[in-house]
Structure 1
Amino acid sequence: MERSHDGYDLFSPEFRADPNAHWAAMRQAGCPVAHSDKWGGSFMPVAYDDIRDIARDGARFSSRAIEVAGPLEAAGGLYLPPLTSDPPEHKPHRGVLMPYFLPARIAEFEPFVREKARKLAEELAERGGGDVVTDFAQHLTIAVLTKMLGVPPGEQFTDWMIRMIRVGPKDQAVRAEAIHEILGYLGGLLDEREVEPRDDLISYLAAADIEGEPLSRKHKIGAAFLVLIAGADTTWSAISASLWHLALHEEDRKRLVADPSLLDTTSEEFLRVYAPVSVARLATQDVELHGRSVAAGERVLLAFGAANRDPEVFEEPDKIMIDRKRNRHLTFGSGEHRCLGSNLARLELRITLEEWLRVMPDFRLVDPDGVTWSGGQTRGPERVDFEVVR
């Protein structure tokens, strides 16, 4: 097997700028699985079927450590049920949060999301431009999450996410400090809600149970922690990448403005092409992947963006088609661990496209060549400066 693609670096400027180039080169070289010793070590498959099957195989690939980088001896230290839960605990753990993420419950957020998105877009239009990431996507995403949790929005949430998810994998001290602060904050909220419950997720978790048994304090805080981190950087990265695309591709932007019926297929196509998330699994036993020996305890990366570019599954996978009809992307994962928040993420992205284009149908990047991308667990543009075209 060709192994010239081993030694990849998830945080290198080249990989962050265009991971698809690496995945495509692996396919062309007949290398379905690569290995790297960097950032704690990992194996990385690129085929759709392999990524889907590993995501569904909880017996051989544990979810107890989903971070894509960092020392393996620290893997599994963060308890985020049901994301880090394996069978048989996973199903009841997922069942605890499920009522808060059912389609009917998520639909109740639409008026709030629409009002917030419209207000942010109108403020930027009046200014004549700004940064898509810090002036819009982060504000919208954090506002939705804090409303769900029942707390006032604040800059500390964005700071925590960046320190934990973007900086943390490369600096374990920064990660540990951010986690300590988040756990302390959520613990304080839980104490308050147990005394004075409200209509929010923290209060719900404070009183939740599994088959009549109250949740442990660790479970309550871990589930709240999961909601906070799983829906923050991931969603604002998807929103930012989508608006970056529309600023660069006038033909897609004009077509969407002229035909809003394309909003749903456009959203799905952006989710496919700009899939923001990669997660990890730990092998529970010695496993062979296309001739590569993965020892028990080693990390396997599930780069959902790689699956979404597999030419065996998607017609012209590198071509962005906003009217693509058949789109079985794996952006939200697959199987029992499929993202609980997918309905909320879709709602935020669709409303963003609708409200942004209503307010600013014509806008462009200030510096198209100056946009850099984050890497590792979550990929998205770090800053997208734009200006309104009058």
Structure 2
Amino acid sequence: MSDNATGSLDGYDIFSEGYRNRPADYWGDLAQSRCPISRTEKWGGSWMLVRYQDVYDVIQNPDTYSSRAVEVAGEIPAPGRGLMMPPITSAVPEHADHRALIDPLLSPAAVKVMEPFIRETAAQLAADLAAKGGGDAAAEFARPLALSVLTRIMDLPRDMQGQFVDWATRILRLGPTDQALRRDTLLEVMAFLEEMIAARRGQGGSDAISVMADATIDGEPIDRKHMLGTLLELVIAGADTTWSTIGASLLHLASSPEDRARLVADPTLIKSAVEEFLRAFAPVTVARISTTDVEVHGRCIHANDRVIMPLAAANRDPEVFEDPDVVKIDRRRNRHMAFGTGTHRCAGAHLARAELNIAIEEWLKVIPEFELVGPDVEWAQGQVRGPESIVFKVSA
């Protein structure tokens, strides 16, 4: 076991092949070291925390750890600069007003209305794959399901799904290591959103674009930057996180016939299985910027340093979860942080849970037996981690 008392686990590279495909190896070494915090100068520099309590304390302390810049790589912008994506980058007290603008779009009541559409879409996608005898569960099920929901929320044509995949890939997966590509793609997305806002302003629509185009706070219209930032957050983060978790869940079920058989025999277990998949495969690495010098485990995080926290690592802390590296679909005590915690807890949690539950229910109805084929599965790099491709065949 590595000893990190003097930073011997420093120098990590979250974009390396080893970390991308096997991050739990590094998380485990760091969590069990005498100094469970590490530092790298790669990709703009950052600190990494992986223990549950450490991650919880950072996220719950926005005065010391600001969410003004949430990217995991690149130059850290000066205060007041950088990419604005309300409410995720908003500080208290403005955060409450910014969150209130999108909450109605993602509330339990709104999700309930969308559930028949989600179920119909998931059932059709699964039926199409079953009829072919297999395919790619990521590209032909998880992604189009999540993107169908996103395009519906934004009232955009389904044929834009490929464009959304391209944007998310360039910004979240390639952009962190190619800042010029990221910048150009952000400008491209914002130009599109600005055109949509202009077309829908004053039309009284209930879709996300129309709502943001006419949004006000205290009777005053929100500014252009706020509109674009909130819609940008939906486009680049709202879908990738969900399709990554659906994909990881199906990858597990393809590799675990016993768990698959249990869910087929007893669908009431799917709800607890979804929570376990969220715990084990939480796709997001969150980032915060320190506002002052602070000592953590004997090391000094300086003001304006980036701190990154893989939520899946916190969810594997043995101090909180029994047998944390084992996926237990009937786990009873499961206080995972897949959606974060505190003020900035994911606004789309209700929708993501609904999509995951429905996706697995409808998949197992028509594809109860399936197995992986082809090469080893590669995982996406960057801020959102999920399987890139899941090639499978229907089993007899």
Give TM-score, length-normalised by structure 2: 0.96
Deviates more, 1:155-164 or 1:29-38: 29-38
1:386 maps onto 2:392 in alignment: yes
1:278 maps onto 2:257 in alignment: no
Deviations 1:324-349 (A, max 9, x none): 01100011001000000011111111
Distance apart, 1:271 and its partner CA: 0.5
Q: Within 5 A, what are the aligned runs for 1:119-268?
A: 119-153=124-158, 154=160, 155-268=162-275
Distance of aligned partners of 1:116 and 1:74 in 2 relative to their CA distance in 1, 3 Å threshold: farther
Which residue is 1:56 aligned to?
Answer: 60
Structure 2 unaligned regions, length at least 5: none
Which residue is 1:24 aligned to?
Answer: 28
Q: SS of the counterpart of 1:9?
A: coil
- 1:371 corresponds to which of 373, 377, 384: 377
Percent identity for Structure 1 against Structure 2: 50
- 2:73 corresponds to which of 61, 66, 69: 69
Task: Say whether the 8 Å CA contact 1:32–1:46 is kept in structure 2.
Answer: yes
Which residue is 1:87 aligned to?
Answer: 92
Distance apart, 1:385 and its partner CA: 0.4
Which residue is 2:116 aligned to?
Answer: 111
Distance apart, 1:192 and its partner CA: 0.5
Task: Say whether the 8 Å CA contact 2:311–2:338 is kept in structure 1.
Answer: yes
Equivalent-residue separation in structure 2 for 1:53 and 1:351 (angstroms)? 33
1:319 maps onto 2:323 in alignment: no
Give TM-score, length-normalised by structure 1: 0.97
Deviates more, 1:89-98 or 1:336-345: 89-98
Task: Say whether the 8 Å CA contact 2:204–2:210 is kept in structure 1.
Answer: yes
Q: SS of the counterpart of 1:386?
A: strand
Deviates more, 1:58-67 or 1:20-29: 20-29
Across the aligned residues of Structure 1 and Structure 2, the Cα RMSD in angstroms comes to 1.2
Equivalent-residue separation in structure 2 for 1:158 and 1:197 (angstroms)? 29
Q: SS of the counterpart of 2:201?
A: helix
Equivalent-residue separation in structure 2 for 1:324 and 1:285 (angstroms)? 39
Which residue is 2:10 aligned to?
Answer: 6
Structure 1 unaligned regions, length at least 5: none
Distance apart, 1:27 and its partner CA: 2.5
Equivalent-residue separation in structure 2 for 1:28 and 1:206 (angstroms)? 49
Distance apart, 1:309 and its partner CA: 0.4
Equivalent-residue separation in structure 1 for 2:206 and 2:385 (angstroms)? 33
Task: Say whether the 8 Å CA contact 1:269–1:321 is kept in structure 2.
Answer: yes
Task: Say whether the 8 Å CA contact 1:2–1:30 is kept in structure 2.
Answer: no
Deviations 1:244-272 (A, max 9, x none): 00000000000100000101100000010
Distance apart, 1:17 and its partner CA: 1.1
Deviations 1:155-213 (A, max 9, x none): 11111000110000010111111111110111000001015342311111122111111
Deviations 1:325-382 (A, max 9, x none): 1100011001000000011111111101000000100000003x51111122011111
Q: SS of the counterpart of 1:273?
A: helix
Distance apart, 1:73 and its partner CA: 4.0
